[in-house]
Chains A and B, each alone.
Chain A
């Protein structure tokens, strides 16, 4: 007899186990730079452009998260790469121009996030998602703190911190992308790029 909650959404699915034996390694799909670097970068650009549409839905503006920050968090955890910082720099330059920020503003802040995470990746990769979420929020705080500091140095005035908090919340809502990409790429055969 089936358990009363063992149907529909409550059906317990068999747990996925990662096969680390030889057969599993051979069966894993090879993932190249196009798939784990360039495609997410293009998606990030597309999402940024779409969310910049000047409309209001039920009186509310569209959110404006910093989409490349998710990639700056995920890519160093997947593996260190020569191409990733260059693609990230291009994404930062795109944000600088598209959002009309000072040249180098997003490039510098994203690069610092990437560099720090490359250094500490061995402590973060493989942790429980709650730990990863905490580190993600800490990364966001560092990122936006650097942004506030750089703008204060550049213009001599402090930006409204409530606005910074709103953008931080919008970027936090993108966190489900992080475990999705980590599950997809961390244990895959990600090729050198």
Chain B
């Protein structure tokens, strides 16, 4: 028998079900660790960073596979328009007649508003630059609501930029790659948008729950909202600019206030990305923590130059005015004025940093703490002990 022909283990077989279960358990542990390490709910730039390469690759694949679906969608849209053209025409004529009145009122009010702004010297918000993009794919499930759009960092899109349609707010950018961006829709379970009710100016937080109508939480005030109220972004927190149209308030059967989104009125095909600077992200948290304390940056507090001996003698007798130890004329002036009336409560001497006085006076005079130059001929007392004339 040649070497290697011994087949003692040929009948040794691993029980398949047990081995498969071992693989399943291993993959489950791996997936659970990934899930524990995921920080998607924090909506931070680095949480979506790992997915940008996949998003870039998904765009052309999606475009190729979805081409027939786009053809079918265009066909049904044409058929829909053809079948309902007459009724739509009647509706549009009615709407145009109504909107003409609003248009005239708009021009008048716009003119009045501009005059008020000039009169009051209001600092209006600057116009926000925008980028138009097309929606490539959409995820509408209960656990995640987001979109891919075909514009990215090459068109100056950054994390946090708000995304709108001609109808209203859609969401904001949470992942950016050179030519593709991922939009977190306001209906996603991790989305929180600070809003205000236009009629009452009441503030609330709009929170997505995976459904079509996000719910309103933390509504400030009582009876500040009713069905049909227009909901706008409040701009609180600096993530969204103020005044973007969001939707209309509606109350569900469970009594929870929700928002019927304007963006759902029409298919979200083309979107506009506002290149709005999220000022809440401007300060870097790490840099803020590294900054030295304020006491190191500011000059030490100005201390009152009080001579305890002179002050004690002034309070004891009015005749003892002159004090040879008084260093400044201001002190003399203060003591002379204090002689005529009861002495005001003397401020307690402020603790001076230990390093400033001794070190600066002994070793390097140019490093002495900042003190204002004494005003020799000033009639006003320069110290708080002087009181008012």
Contact = CB atoms under 8 A, between A and B. Distances in A.
B63 to A, nearest CB: 10
A100 B190 CA distance: 12
Interface stretch (A12-20, A54-62, A172-180): A54-62
Contacts of B33: 104
A160 to B, nearest CB: 3
Interface in A37-71: 46, 49-50, 52-59, 61-62, 64
A54 B138 contact: yes
Main secondary structure of the interface of B (DSSP, over half): helix
Interface size class of B (residues with CB under 8 A): 35 or more
Interface of B: 16-17, 19-21, 23-25, 27-28, 30-38, 40-41, 48, 50-51, 54, 58, 61-62, 65-66, 69-70, 72-73, 76, 80, 135-144, 146-147, 175, 182, 189-190, 207, 209-211, 267-269
B35 A159 contact: no
Interface in A85-139: 85-86, 89, 92, 97-105, 107-108, 111-112, 114-115, 118-119
A54 B48 CA distance: 22
A92 B209 contact: no
Given A115-B21, A160-B211, A64 B66 contact: no
A56 B54 contact: no
Interface size class of A (residues with CB under 8 A): 35 or more
Contact of A162 (B19, B31, B211): B211
A169 B16 CA distance: 34
A119 B66 CA distance: 38
Contact of A100 (B73, B182, B268): B182
* Residue with the highest number of chain B CB atoms closer than 10 Å, among A52, A54, A82: A54
A82 B20 CA distance: 6
Interface string A145-189: 001101100111111111110110000000000000000000000
A154 B41 contact: yes
Nearest to B146: A100
Nearest to A97: B54
A56 B210 contact: no
A52 B139 contact: yes
Contacts of A52: 62, 66, 137-139
B35 A115 contact: no
A119 B41 CA distance: 34
B143 A104 contact: no
B35 A102 contact: yes
Given A49-B62, A98-B58, A105-B35, A85 B23 contact: yes
